[in-house]
Structures are given as structure tokens and as C-alpha cells.
Amino acid sequence: MTRAGRIFWTRCAVIGGPVALLEAACRLRWISPLVIIPPSEMVAAMVSLLGTEEVLASVGQTFSTVAIAFVAAVVLGFVLGAVIHGLPRLRRAIDPLLASYYSVPFFVFYPLLVALFGLNALPLIAIGFIFALPAMLIATLLGLDRVPRVFRKVARMHRLGWARTATLVILPAALPNLFQGIKLALAYAFIGVIAGEFILSSGGLGYAIAYAYESFENRTMYGLMLFVLLSAIVTNGLLYAWEARQQRRRGRG
């Protein structure tokens, strides 16, 4: 078997083993269906739920909220990172703030955001954005730090202007770090939005899961949970594949 094949089958066993075990435990009634339903039923529930207009609307709402928060965080995180990188004084001043950023439990401010913006998509976009922004900002700072000084000299030797130095030299040199920021920003935006919907909102996947939980609709709850899980895995997997392709091009795959 090839190395890639072995890795694939090992991965299947690592994931499939516990799933099969859970399936057996549920079928044999070691675990009550009131607590957890068998994974096969979760899949069936997910498929049938995705056929309903109501759920599709929730999916659309959540995904578009995440997408807006994510794109805003990536763009603004990059721009702010680039600006702060160019202002060492400012950077020294806010470095400790950035370093301790993720120790603040931001969700305590979520009700405040709802009070400010009302019970609509805005507080959700805001919480996803607030959560994802620093990841991108920090990755941008790191990426720009790691551009070797000699690359800028090479750019000057080729007498490139400011814009071409940025796009042809600095950006590609910083790209591996920017990828890290993009991946993290997506994960954080997703977490922020779903959690916000969970706490307080009038729609979206998080809300639907919380609603199903409160009304003891186990099938719906697990079906939706599985869908959220799979969505996160698939989007992250796509970014991972994209990154791996870039790295292979640099010969470090």
C-alpha cells in the first residue's frame, strides 16, 4: 500500500471506529435514544432536514453571516496589520493588547451588541468579526515580520516602485503566514456566529439547534449538529488543500 493510502485508511479507522462504536451502543440501548440517537439516524435526519425550506433558510442565513464576518475580518485584518506594521511605535503600544486579546470572553458583550444593533444579523456579524479580526491581524504582522530584509533590497535593485514591491515581493513572501490567518479567521468567524445565534437570535443554524434542544427534538438537533460539524470540516479541508497546493509549489509539500 502507498504511504498516502495507509494514511487514508488510518484516518478512516480513527474516525470510523468511534462512530461504529457509538452506533452499536445506541442500537443495543446502552445509550438511551433520548440522550443520543445513532449516527446513521443523524445522517438520515440531516438529509431529510436539508430538504426542508425552513432549514435551508437557516443554512443560508448562517452561511451568509459567517461569510460577511469572515471577509470583513480578512480584509480589515490585513489592512490594519499592514498599517500597524508600518508604525512601530503604535505597534509597541498595542502589542500587549493583541497578545491578550483571546483571553477576553467576548460573548459577555454579545447582549450589548444586540442592544446596540437590534435582534438582526448585525450583532452576529459583529461578534464573528470581532472574534476573527485579530487572528488575521496578528498573522499579517507575523508574515510581514518574516519577509527577509534582503528581499526589499532585491526589489530596490530592480527599481520596483512601492506598489510592485508590495504585490510582487512582499505579498508572496508573506503568503504562508497570511494563509494561517485566513484559516483561523474562518474558524473563528464560524464559531462566533453559531455561538451568537445559540445565545440570542431569531434565526440561523445555532438558533435552530438551541430551539430543537429546548423542544426535545433530538433528531432535528443531532441532524443539524452533524451538518454544522461537516460544514466546518469541509470548508477547512478546502482551505487546507489550497494551502497544501501552494506549499507544494514552493517545494515544501
Residues of this chain that bind another protein (CB under 8 A): 148, 150-151, 153-154, 156-160, 164, 168-169, 172-173, 175, 249-252
Q: Which is nearer to another protein, 71 or 173 (CB)?
A: 173
- Closer to another protein at the Cβ: 6 or 164? 164
Rounded least distance, CB 248 to another protein, Å: 9
Residue with cell string 490585513? 78
CB 133 within 8 A of CB 76: yes
Q: Closer to another protein at the Cβ: 29 or 252?
A: 252
User: Among all chains, which residue has been given the C-alpha cell 468579526?
Assistant: 129
* Shortest spacing between CB 163 and another protein, in angstroms: 12
Give the count of alpha carbons within 13 A of 185, CB side only.
29
| φ, ψ (nearest 5 deg) of residue 100 | -100, 5
> Minimum distance from CB of 63 to another protein (Å)?
32
Give 96 or 105: the residue with its C-beta nearer to another protein: 96
Backbone dihedral angles phi then psi of residue 51, each to the nearest 5 degrees: -85, -10
Query: CA 117 → CA 127, 184, 196, 204, distances in Å?
Result: 12, 26, 13, 17
Task: Tell me how far, at minimum, the Cβ of 169 lies from another protein, in Å.
Answer: 7
